[in-house]
Amino acid sequence: LLRTRAATQPFLLGIILRHCVLFFCLEVSAAFLTSPKIRTPSYADTSKIQLFQHKLFAQKTATLKKARDHQFRMELGLLQSLECVKNVRDLASVTGSPVKPGRCFRASCLGTASKADESLITKNIKTLVDLRSEKEFSTDSTKYNSTVFDEYDNLLYEVKYSKSGRPKELVPKVSSIDGERSRHMVSVIDEKLYKRGVFKKLGLGKKLKAAVYMGLSQTKLRKLFIDFINDAGLPLLNELILDYGGPSIKAVLDVLADRGSHPVAFYCTAGKDRTGLVAMLVLSALGVPDEAILNDYVLSDSVYRDLGDK
């Protein structure tokens, strides 16, 4: 009897094993037959998806801009009809902003103002804060036909550096001005600091190239830095401004916080990146939700097209 059982055990195990394999195959087949067929998106599909997402973003931006423009016209009786100055908004119109209407504006460069714009600006804006570099605003007389800046007394600032060469503070070159209107020339970051910050972020090979170009060709050195900045994009620019532009940003915020300066408008060239960064810092400090700040920033998405910058 024991011999019979020992002989039949392998046979029974074989039957059980075959049934298990058959059951597994049937289950797998059923799964493939009933599951939906998954197709990897092609490049054309991906392009269509991206185009669709871009259209949705454009529609959302247009809706936000339309709503904000309506709110802007309803709440404010000034600057809403500027003909040539683009990207003008009141910080009061941002959702959740505690800023009082008519106190603080952001804009693109006011040098594009028409005669009608000049009249509105000078009547309603007491203080201008120019965030551009000295090299940029030194070309205003040849780049722009507007005389709006002639109505404001320029208040230049000078940078005080620490022993390590980093900017320590920004102080006005004069203690006061005579006129009622003033333009504070506060560059958030200058070219020298850009170069220093970019050099630190270069790889070893590019650092060696930069060191050679410093003694041979400033043109090639500048191109090396510009190419690196363009490849890195806005995150690098904002990082450099925050790393090296602290004293300048503080000087800007001091002017904006001074009630005696109101109404005030701050701007760069397009009123998008440097201006957007300052607006973000102001709104964030005032407790405005991040989503509202982001929605305000994307309203500047079309500014380069509006300015005719291809």
Q: How far is CA 248 from the centre of its chain?
A: 18
Alpha-carbon distance values, 109 to 66, 106, 195, 237, 245 (Å): 22, 10, 24, 19, 20
pLDDT by position in tens, the chain (length 310): 344 444 555 655 566 666 555 555 555 444 444 444 444 444 445 555 556 665 666 666 666 655 655 555 444 445 556 888 888 999 999 999 999 999 999 999 999 999 989 999 999 999 999 999 888 888 887 788 889 999 999 888 887 877 777 777 877 877 666 778 999 999 887 677 777 888 888 888 888 888 888 878 888 888 888 888 888 877 888 888 888 888 889 999 999 999 999 999 999 988 888 999 999 999 999 999 999 999 999 888 876 666 565 4
Q: What is the pLDDT of residues 49-86, one digit of tens each?
A: 556 665 666 666 666 655 655 555 444 445 556 888 88
The two three-digit tokens of residue 55, written as one number: 């259209």
| Amino acid type, 76 | L
End-to-end CA distance of the chain: 96
Strands 182-185, 264-267: pairing kind? unpaired
Looking at residue 38, the DSSP 8-state letter turns out to be P
Q: What is the pLDDT of residues 269-287, one digit of tens each?
A: 888 889 999 999 999 999 9
Write down the domain spans for the chain.
44-188+253-306, 190-244
- Helix orientation angle between 43-75 and 290-298, rounded to the nearest 10 degrees: 100
**DSSP reduced 3-state for 299:** coil
The domain 44-188+253-306 having CATH identifier 3.90.190.10: the answer here is: yes
Cβ-based neighbour number of residue 239 at 10 Å:
13
Based on DSSP, count helices (H) and strands (E) in the chain, helices before strands: 13, 7
The two three-digit tokens of residue 282, written as one number: 């102001």
Q: Cα(240)–Cα(227) distance, rounded to whole angstroms? A: 15
